[in-house]
Amino acid sequence: MNPCETCERNCKEPCWKVDRGLLVEPHSDIDASSYVFGHMLLYALRFALGRTKYVPCEVADFIYPLVPKIDTQALYCMEFEIAAAMKHGHDIKSNEAVEWERLLGKIGVELNERRRQHE
């Protein structure tokens, strides 16, 4: 199975969500580079860090492909929040830790790339 173009995971089907009977594509006409949207994602991430079951995975999966477009300040905050939650344990289970580590890695790569571009 090849990685999905949307989230780079091995999905059985394209990453489309079915929500209450409506087909929703997570990145259709969103301005992910806007300050407000980046911070809305940060708030969702903060909420998800304290949850278990499906919420952390869904939030991480939604944010992952948008990382290159998200506002730099929001990315720094996300990086800090994930690292702090993982360091302090905040009830992060092993399967959720994999999702957070994956997202943290993607954010780190993106922030390093942005730093290099500004040098």
Angle 94-117/54-63 helices, nearest 10 degrees? 20
Please write the tens of the pLDDT for every residue from 37-65.
899 999 999 999 877 777 888 888 889 98
pLDDT at 42: 94
Please write the tens of the pLDDT for every residue from 7-16.
555 554 444 4
Q: For the chain, which residues make up each domain, given as ranges?
A: 31-117
- How buried is residue 64: exposed, middle or buried, by Cβ count under 10 Å (0-12/13-18/19+)? buried
pTM, rounded to two decimals:
0.72
pLDDT band at 29 (very low <50, low <70, confident <90, very high): low
